[in-house]
Amino acid sequence: MRKRIYFLGALILCGGILIGACGMFFCQRHFHSRHAPPPPEALTERVAERLTARYALTPADAEKVRAALAPFFHHAEQTRREFVTQMDADNRQLAEQMRQVLSPENFADWQRRVAKFRPAK
């Protein structure tokens, strides 16, 4: 009787872990790649607030932190946009090369499979 209770407890625990892991996988896959990053201004404020709270910065120091973070996040956003533009061009070029090599049916299947890995726009 005692072994059966331990077995059922272990089974319930493993089931809960499995359900949680699957839920996290599907949530991450569905939501993570589909959200646009926050604008640089919002990111600057969020990080500055966290640093101010963590390091107990004075208002003057907090402004200096904001002044240092703002150009960094603007440049990072510009770099991200340039990268996305370049990747789009590379993806179009690859698709054209694949169209020349694959049959129309295989090309359609390839496009469907590749589309799963590209973020929604």
Q: Which stretch of DSSP H or E encloses residue 53?
A: helix 40-55
Contacts of residue 65, defined as CB under 8 A and 6 or more positions apart, other chains included, come to: 48, 51, 52, 57
For each of the chain's 121 residues, which pLDDT tens digit applies?
A: 788 888 888 888 878 888 887 777 776 666 655 567 889 999 999 999 999 999 999 999 999 999 999 999 999 999 999 998 999 999 999 999 999 999 999 999 999 998 887 766 5
pTM: 0.60
Residue 24 amino acid letter:
M
What pLDDT does 70 receive? Answer: 96
